[in-house]
């Protein structure tokens, strides 16, 4: 359920701060995700113990705070990638560097804060020395730590690519598929290799995962629903996505699509994203109705763009 809250918060922040438009099919996709994740959470609550219920009183507020912070991060990343030409992996790398420096100081502080709660270890909030000691004594833990670092970095890099060429909301909806993959892995993998750890099958969870997949494909316009005006803006959104992708290829320029650009797109129709570029910063489309896009590089805190469209007579 809280995963669905992340999708909802990111969508709202995109509307408020980035002035993005969420259309009917977007809200339907978000609603489907929220319902599907709620069904999965309900299935987990039914089978949890009394201790888990007590820990939920502390865990849920912390998760809500983390979701708000994560949502702000996603929206800021989209704004950053839309304002400046930055390679997504470079952004992920700098985030990792700053995050490492931050957590070095934070873990040093948490090492000396006393904590007698059940979740704490050795009477402190976070016993970093104990964790490093365990990792150093186990080759498997070292391998798992390295693999986790590489996989997490790759996942963040791919997610940043989605944010750059689509939006933060698209990225968040796609990440919900991870829940489905993890569930299937622990459902099937232990049966094949006869492992003790396995995931129990529940029809409520299965229904939730199916609804999640439906929400993802609706939001990302993999399929369109030709009823109740749900397909009204799908073609237009693809045209805007083509413009963002074309602009991002033109190094030095942002990928913002202004209201004037949207109005021109409404009049001109969709434009083929297969474009030809030259060194002067122009992009020319190969469709019948083509145009020229000329931009000047953003200075600090300001962007100056000029967008002109012409008809091919």
Per DSSP, what are the bridge partners of residue 305?
A: 295
- Per the structure, the count of domains in the chain is 2
27 and 165 belong to one structural domain: yes
Name the residue among 141, 167, 140, 302 with its Cα closest to residue 221.
Answer: 167
Range of the domain at 284: 235-309
Q: Which pair of structure tokens corresponds to residue 183?
A: 């569930």
Predicted structure pTM score: 0.67
Q: Which of 166, 193, 219 is the last residue of a domain?
A: 219
DSSP helix/strand/coil, 119 = coil
Name the residue among 4, 123, 118, 5 with its Cα closest to residue 55.
Answer: 118
12 and 88 belong to one structural domain: yes
pLDDT for residue 125 is more than 50: yes
Is 300 within a domain?
A: yes
Q: How far apart are CA 244 and CA 82, in angstroms?
A: 8
- Looking at per-residue pLDDT, the higher value among 231 and 137 belongs to 137
265 and 204 belong to one structural domain: no
201 and 301 belong to one structural domain: no
- Average pLDDT of the chain is 73
- Looking at per-residue pLDDT, the higher value among 272 and 44 belongs to 44
Instruction: Give 267's Cβ-side CA count (13 Å radius).
Output: 10
pLDDT confidence of residue 47: 67
Question: What's the pLDDT tens digit per position in 63-72?
Answer: 888 889 999 9
73 and 198 belong to one structural domain: yes
What are the helix (H) ranges across 166-286? 168-175, 177-193, 203-219, 234-249, 259-268
How confident is the model over 252-265, as a mean pLDDT?
47
Of these ranges, 155-159, 187-191, 236-240, 305-309, the one predicted with the greatest mean pLDDT is 155-159
Is 224 within a domain?
A: no
Is 212 within a domain?
A: yes
* Residue the block writes with tokens 């365990």: 134
């Amino acid at each position: 359920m809280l995963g669905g809250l992340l999708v909802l918060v990111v969508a709202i922040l995109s509307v408020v701060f980035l002035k993005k438009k969420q259309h009917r099919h977007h809200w339907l996709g978000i609603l489907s995700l929220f319902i599907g994740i709620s069904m999965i959470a309900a299935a987990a609550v039914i089978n949890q113990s009394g201790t888990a219920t007590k820990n939920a009183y502390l865990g849920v507020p912390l998760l809500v705070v983390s979701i708000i912070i994560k949502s702000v991060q996603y929206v800021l990343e989209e704004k950053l990638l839309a304002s400046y030409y930055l390679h997504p992996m470079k952004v992920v790398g700098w985030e990792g560097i700053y995050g490492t420096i931050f957590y070095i100081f934070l873990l040093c502080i948490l090492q000396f804060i006393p904590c007698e709660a059940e979740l704490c270890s050795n009477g402190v909030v976070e016993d970093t020395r104990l964790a490093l000691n365990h990792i150093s004594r186990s080759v498997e833990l070292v391998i798992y730590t390295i693999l986790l670092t590489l996989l997490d970095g790759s996942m963040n890099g791919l997610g940043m690519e989605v944010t750059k060429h689509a939006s933060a909301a698209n990225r968040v909806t796609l990440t919900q598929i991870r829940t489905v993959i993890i569930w299937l892995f622990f459902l099937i993998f232990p049966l094949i290799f006869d492992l003790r750890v396995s995931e129990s099958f529940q029809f409520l969870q299965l229904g939730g995962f199916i609804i999640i997949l439906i929400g993802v494909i609706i939001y990302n316009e993999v399929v369109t629903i030709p009823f109740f005006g749900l397909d009204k803006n799908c073609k237009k959104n693809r045209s805007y996505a083509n413009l963002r992708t074309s602009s991002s290829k033109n190094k030095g320029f942002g990928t913002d699509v202004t209201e004037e650009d949207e109005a021109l797109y409404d009049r001109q129709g969709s434009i083929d994203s297969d474009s030809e570029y030259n060194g002067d910063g122009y992009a020319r489309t190969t469709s019948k109705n083509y145009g020229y896009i000329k931009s000047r590089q953003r200075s600090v805190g300001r962007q100056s763009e000029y967008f002109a469209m012409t008809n091919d007579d």
